[in-house]
């Protein structure tokens, strides 16, 4: 795509959008804006004010590389190395999932339960099992100013990414990251435990969208034969660490909420609230609470 050389910012943005649209990429306009801005180091305002500036050869080459990667199916978030979640800019790495809007349902339900139990400003101990980029934990800490958070992951690279995100957002003093499998390295009690574990059935991985299948870490996707392996591991661990009256909230795949609720019940956790649905109406966040003694 050498036609970017010497073209204006506005012209290359529009040309890239057209190329993406012709490749049947639904988010062509948004993707073109994000990729052009990242290649040139410009935010939305900068794209407007610099609309008639012409690209240097270096900028053109960078944008051409981004365009090639997007047309090959690489997600924009992977190309620019960042994704917004709950209004927070999060860096990504090869060891982390790209945070998705559906996962904000877990944050919403968690805050509803905390609010129902009292003041959001009260001291709380919060754990995020399999934290990845730190998305859920950092979103909760941004809303719970007196909470202390603990994020776990078996990937050291993921933990480094999460720690960098905590520092970037200004939450390092309240976020601790622990290398372990789910809750195996934590000591309770916790007032809230959350998790977005792998829940895709192994046989379904091949049929996922290429943006997910080819670019998200398989370990963060593959939930075993029935998609429930991670829940069988983490739910009993979490139940042992919850304070009386505290809740565990997990993200669920389509059609899994009742099975997950049954696993929670078997671990001694009672339904805390009806599963919260995402924008598509899928029960996405499932909660169980430890009965108060």
Residue 78, both tokens: 């992977």
196 is in an annotated binding site: yes
197 is in an annotated binding site: yes
133 is in an annotated binding site: yes
Do residues 137 and 194 touch, judged by C-beta distance below 8 A?
A: yes
132 is in an annotated binding site: yes
Tokens 């994020």 locate to: 151
199 is in an annotated binding site: yes
Long-range contacts of 33-42 (CB under 8 A, 24+ apart): 34/76, 34/80, 35/63, 35/66, 35/67, 35/70, 35/76, 35/79, 35/80, 36/9, 36/12, 36/63, 38/66, 38/79, 38/80, 39/63, 39/66, 40/9, 42/9
224 is in an annotated binding site: no
75 is in an annotated binding site: no
What does the DSSP 8-state code read for residue 34?
A: H
121 is in an annotated binding site: no
134 is in an annotated binding site: yes
151 is in an annotated binding site: no
Quote the CA–CA distance of 92 and 22 in Å, as a whole number. 28
Binding residues: 130-134, 153, 196-199
Binding residues for S-adenosyl-L-methionine: 130-134, 153, 196
Binding residues for substrate: 196-199
């Amino acid at each position: 795509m050498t036609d970017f050389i010497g073209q204006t910012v506005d012209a290359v943005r529009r040309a890239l959008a057209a190329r993406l649209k012709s490749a049947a990429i639904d988010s062509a306009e948004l993707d073109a804006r994000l990729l052009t801005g990242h290649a040139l180091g410009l935010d939305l305002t900068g794209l407007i004010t610099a609309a008639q500036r012409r690209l240097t050869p270096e900028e053109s080459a960078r944008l051409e590389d981004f365009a090639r990667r997007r047309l090959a199916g690489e997600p924009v978030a992977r190309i620019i190395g960042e994704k917004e979640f709950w209004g927070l800019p999060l860096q990504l790495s090869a060891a982390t999932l790209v945070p998705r809007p559906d996962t904000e349902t877990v944050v919403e339900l968690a805050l509803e339960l905390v609010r129902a139990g009292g003041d959001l400003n009260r001291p709380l101990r919060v754990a995020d099992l399999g934290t990845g980029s730190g998305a859920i934990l950092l979103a909760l800490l941004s809303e719970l100013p007196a909470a202390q958070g603990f994020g776990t992951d078996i990937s050291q690279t993921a933990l480094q990414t999460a720690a960098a995100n905590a520092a970037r957002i200004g939450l390092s003093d309240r976020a601790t990251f622990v290398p372990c499998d789910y809750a195996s390295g934590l000591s309770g009690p916790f007032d809230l435990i959350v998790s977005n574990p792998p829940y895709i059935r192994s046989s379904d991985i091949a049929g996922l969208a290429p943006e997910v299948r080819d670019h998200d870490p398989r370990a963060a996707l593959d939930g075993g034969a029935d998609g429930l392996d991670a829940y069988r591991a983490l739910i009993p661990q979490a139940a042992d660490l919850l304070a009386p009256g505290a809740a565990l909230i997990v993200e669920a795949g389509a059609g899994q909420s009742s099975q997950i609720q049954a696993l929670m019940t078997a671990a001694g956790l009672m339904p805390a609230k009806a599963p919260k649905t995402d924008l598509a109406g899928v029960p996405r966040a499932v909660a169980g609470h430890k009965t108060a003694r």
